[in-house]
Amino acid sequence: MRRHVRIPIVVFFCSLLFLPGLCAQDPVQQLDAFLARFQEYGLLNGTLLVARDGKVILEKGYGWADMELGVPLQGDTKILLASITKTFTAVTAMRLAEQGKLSLEAKVSDLLPWYRRDTGSRITVRHLLSHTSGIPDYLHIPGVGPEGFLRETVVAPVGIEEFARKWCSGDLQSEPGSRYQYCNSGYFLLGAIIASVSGKPFPQAVAEQVLVPLGMKNTGDLAADPRAVVPGMARHYMKRGREYQTSGPWNYATALAAGSMYSTVGDMLLFDQGLYRDSFLSEKSRRLMFTAGLGGYGCGWEIRRSPLGPGRAERTVLTHEGFLYWVHARFFRVPEERICVVILNNAGDAPLEAVFAGVTDILYGRLPAPLLRPLGFAVSPELLARGPEIVAGRIRELQKTEAGAWDFSERAVNALGYEMMRSGKADVAVAVFRYLVESFPQSGNAWDSLGEGLAALGKKDEAVKAYARSLELDPGNRNAVEMLQRLMSQ
């Protein structure tokens, strides 16, 4: 499974950045060299900003905005935000509530009269904001899944009511307010609600409520025209082993308030700074938005307590991830220290946590952990041509002889398996996933990945066993439930 596990994040913490004697070398130069190493290893291709008290410490691009034309990334390059869009949706809803145009306790069916009343009369705006509505996520509908959803929606025009009726109106999976379950469908409905109460299309409402007041001139939305050519926008890429491939089509109108926006790291700093101003958003609204509920999620934000400072003192971290196959982004805020960190990667999955951990070590005069080489570097085209068992044998050999130089973490091995899947090498992927479950036998995610690989090879019985083991280890794994249903119906 392509899962991004929530773990405590070590965030850039800069209060000691300029104290004399902390580092023999300029910390900014150290940061730059460290991040350039990630780029060299193919682990980072994006833009990054670190700021404190609204002042930029580091703002730079690492890699390419257009690989074919050799155009480098700059700090002002526009990149998709994906699900970081949800933070803008939440702030827009809060501002509309302050203006008396929206109540967070209002029922969905009262705000959207065409929505099914048997469920909509039980779901509030607050439930949608906090991912506790119980509505099924349109990316995980049993028997359809992300691939099926993409096939049906990739080019079709999207009318909000028509789309919501088909994709955001399933029977509830839990009683509203009882369980956290990340849900893009709920945020799509929020986009429809914002449009209804404001009398403006969602992108225009966000612009009027957030972008214009904060001077965010380099931020926009692709929902109205998913194929629009945006000046200064980076191309987006998917990894294929050691190579990159331009991103496939995606109808951003289907994301709407769940993930259709783009921005620059500099504009995201303007957003960060605006969230400290009572004139923009009241303290009461901020407190409501930034209070952790079920699943550690507030209203549009993940809330964490993470060890950041000297002696690993804990600080509150407000954050959100954005992920598509061709973008991986994170927006971090540390209000107690007025720290803002933004990283927008335009070339697929990236080890953002490792970047943060290493940067924090540098800022506090600690030596960062050695940067391990990604296993994809060990899988050459010549090795691939020799077959899956040879590839798996090479990985096992490296673990025995050079374990300290290569990344053998669960995440890294899983990522290699999916690189092989995306490259059309399902047989090699299965060999990698078998190694993965040998190394991490108690990981439900590892067994889920093996099940996906086996299913791709048509090995139904083995896939069923793998998914069943995944579900046994992780009873909350919806993907395993859906895949077992699909496989058993064949």
Terminal CA-to-CA distance of the chain, rounded, Å? 21
What separation in angstroms does the CA of 431 have from each of 232, 238, 426?
A: 41, 22, 9
Distance CA 312, CA 431 (A): 40
**Residue 24 class from Cβ within 10 Å (0-12 exposed, 13-18 middle, 19+ buried)?**
exposed
Give yes or no: 83 in active site.
yes
Q: Which amino acid is at 265?
A: V
Distance CA 190, CA 77 (A): 28
Residues in the chain: 490
Distance CA 94, CA 352 (A): 29
Distance CA 428, CA 434 (A): 10
Phi, psi dihedrals of residue 217, rounded to the nearest 5°: -80, -15
Catalytic pick from 15, 83, 247, 263? Answer: 83
Provide the token pair at 314: 């804990």
Helix then strand then coil, in percent of the chain rounded to 5, is 45, 15, 40
Helices (H), 113-258: 117-120, 125-129, 145-153, 160-167, 184-198, 202-206, 212-214
Distance CA 182, CA 178 (A): 13
Q: Return left, alpha or beta for 488; rule: phi > 0 is left, psi -120 to 50 is alpha, else beta.
A: alpha
118 within 8 A of 166, measured Cβ to Cβ: no
Distance CA 232, CA 163 (A): 30
3-state secondary structure of 52: strand
Distance CA 200, CA 299 (A): 22
Q: Which amino acid is at 289?
A: M
Distance CA 319, CA 374 (A): 26
Distance CA 325, CA 244 (A): 12
What are the catalytic residues?
83
